[in-house]
Structure 1
Amino acid sequence: MSNRPSVPAPGRRTVLRGSLLASAAVTVPVAVTAAPAFALSGRPSASWGVQVGDVTASSALVWVRSDRPARMVVETSATESFRRARTWHGPLIGARTDFTGTTPLYGLPAGEQVHYRVTLADPHDPRRTGKPVYGTFRTAPARRRDGVRFLWSGDIAGQGWGINPDIGGYRVYDEMRRLDPDFFLCSGDNIYADGVLEPSVTLPDGRVWRNITTVEKSKVAETLDEYRGNFRYNLLDDNLRAFNAQVPSIIQWDDHEVRNNWYPGQILDDVRYTEKNVDLLAARSMRAFREYFPVPTLQASPAERRMHRVVRHGPLLDLFVLDMRSFRNANSPGRQPDDTTGILGAEQLSWLKRELSRSRAVWKVIAADMPLGLVVPDGATDFEAVAQGDPGAPLGRELQIAELLRHIKHRGITGTVWLTADVHYTSAQHYAPERAAFKDFAPFWEFVSGPLAAGSFPANALDGTFGPDRVFVRAPDRENVSPMEQPQFFGEVDIDGESGELTVRLRAQGGTVLFSKVLQPGRTGQ
Structure 2
Amino acid sequence: MDEFRGNYKYNMLDQHVREFNRLVPVYYQWDDHEVTNNWYPGEMLLGDDRYTEKSASLLAARANRAFREMLPITEHASEPGRVYRKVSYGPSLDIFFLDMRTYRGTNDANNSPSPTDNTDFLGRAQMEWLKRGLLNSKATWKVIAADMPIGMIVYDDWKNKSTFENLANGDGAPAGRELEIVELLRFIKNAKINNTVWLTADVHYTAAHYYDPNKAHFQDFEPFWEFVSGPLHAGTFGPNDMDNTFGPQVKFTKHPTEDQGINLPPSYGLQFFGLVDIDADTEQFRVSLRDVADEELYTVTLDPVYS
Q: TM-score, normalised by structure 2?
A: 0.91
Instruction: Decide which of 275, 294, 301 is 1:518's aligned counterpart.
Output: 301
Q: 1:303 to 1:510 in 2, by over 3 A?
A: closer
Query: Does residue 473 of structure 1 match 2:246?
Result: no
Query: Does residue 387 of structure 1 match 2:168?
Result: yes
Identity %: 50
Q: Residue 482 of structure 1 corresponds to which residue in structure 2?
A: 265
Deviation at 1:470, TM superposition (A): 0.5
Q: 1:376 to 1:328 in 2, by over 3 A?
A: same
Q: After superposition, where does 1:452-467 map in structure 2 within 5 Å? A: 452-467=232-247
Instruction: Decide which of 187, 207, 223 is 1:407's aligned counterpart.
Output: 187
Do 1:456 and 1:486's aligned partners in 2 also have CA atoms closer than 8 Å? Answer: no
Q: Secondary structure at the match of 1:403?
A: helix
Q: Secondary structure at the match of 1:438?
A: coil
Q: After superposition, where does 1:435-454 map in structure 2 within 5 Å? A: 435-454=215-234
Q: After superposition, where does 1:99-118 map in structure 2 within 5 Å? A: none
Q: Partner amino acid for 2:237?
A: F
Structure with larger Rg: 1
Query: Does residue 505 of structure 1 match 2:288?
Result: yes
Q: Secondary structure at the match of 2:298?
A: strand
More strand by share: 1
Do 1:433 and 1:441's aligned partners in 2 also have CA atoms closer than 8 Å? Answer: yes
Do 2:64 and 2:81's aligned partners in 1 also have CA atoms closer than 8 Å? Answer: no
Q: 1:265 to 1:459 in 2, by over 3 A?
A: same
Query: Does residue 49 of structure 1 match 2:15?
Result: yes
Do 1:436 and 1:464's aligned partners in 2 also have CA atoms closer than 8 Å? Answer: yes
Instruction: Decide which of 30, 33, 46 is 2:6's aligned counterpart.
Output: 33
Q: 1:483 to 1:46 in 2, by over 3 A?
A: closer
Q: Residue 250 of structure 1 corresponds to which residue in structure 2?
A: 27
List alignment gaps of at least 5 residues for structure 2.
Answer: none
Q: Secondary structure at the match of 1:312?
A: strand
Deviation at 1:347, TM superposition (A): 1.1
Do 1:340 and 1:400's aligned partners in 2 also have CA atoms closer than 8 Å? Answer: no
Residue by residue over 1:451-481, the C-alpha shift from the partner in whole angstroms, topping out at 9 and shown as x without a partner, is 1011101110100000001010000132210
More helix by share: 2
Residue by residue over 1:176-231, the C-alpha shift from the partner in whole angstroms, topping out at 9 and shown as x without a partner, is xxxxxxxxxxxxxxxxxxxxxxxxxxxxxxxxxxxxxxxxxxxxxxxxxxxxxxxx
Do 1:35 and 1:48's aligned partners in 2 also have CA atoms closer than 8 Å? Answer: no
Q: Residue 334 of structure 1 corresponds to which residue in structure 2?
A: 110
Q: Partner amino acid for 1:49?
A: Q
What is the rounded CA distance, in whole Å, between the counterparts of 1:350 and 1:516 in structure 2? 33
Deviation at 1:47, TM superposition (A): 7.4
What is the rounded CA distance, in whole Å, between the counterparts of 1:351 and 1:48 in structure 2? 32
What is the rounded CA distance, in whole Å, between the counterparts of 1:294 and 1:306 in structure 2? 11
Q: TM-score, normalised by structure 1?
A: 0.54
List alignment gaps of at least 5 residues for structure 1.
Answer: 1-31, 38-44, 52-63, 65-240
RMSD: 1.8
Residue by residue over 1:144-171, the C-alpha shift from the partner in whole angstroms, topping out at 9 and shown as x without a partner, is xxxxxxxxxxxxxxxxxxxxxxxxxxxx
Q: Residue 270 of structure 1 corresponds to which residue in structure 2?
A: 48
Do 1:487 and 1:510's aligned partners in 2 also have CA atoms closer than 8 Å? Answer: no
What is the rounded CA distance, in whole Å, between the counterparts of 2:232 and 2:142 in structure 1? 24
What is the rounded CA distance, in whole Å, between the counterparts of 1:264 and 1:464 in structure 2? 28
Q: Point out 4+ residue stretches in structure 1 off by more than 4 angstroms.
A: none
Query: Does residue 416 of structure 1 match 2:196?
Result: yes
Q: Secondary structure at the match of 2:8?
A: coil
